[in-house]
Amino acid sequence: MPLPLPGRDTRAGEPRLTDPTALMDDLLCRAGPLTDAPYALYGHSLGALVAHHFAHEAATAG
């Protein structure tokens, strides 16, 4: 299930987040219920970096 970033795709009307902490908070909030089951992350270029940081934050958040 894709998670569009603020300012992109279906969330184009929202301001883009330029602060990495705010971006992770947004993604963790939106994906939180989805992380109760096994999941895979995919990102290309900057998306791969975002996915890597998301995996780290999700693991430390419990």
Consecutive 10-residue runs of the chain (62 residues): their mean pLDDT? 90 95 93 83 93 91 74
Return the HEC string of 6-62: CCCHHHCCCCCCCCHHHHHHHHHHHHHHHHHCCCCCCCCCHHHHHHHHHHHHHHHHC
- What is residue 27's predicted lDDT score, i.e. its pLDDT? 92
Q: What residue type is assigned to position 17 of the chain?
A: L
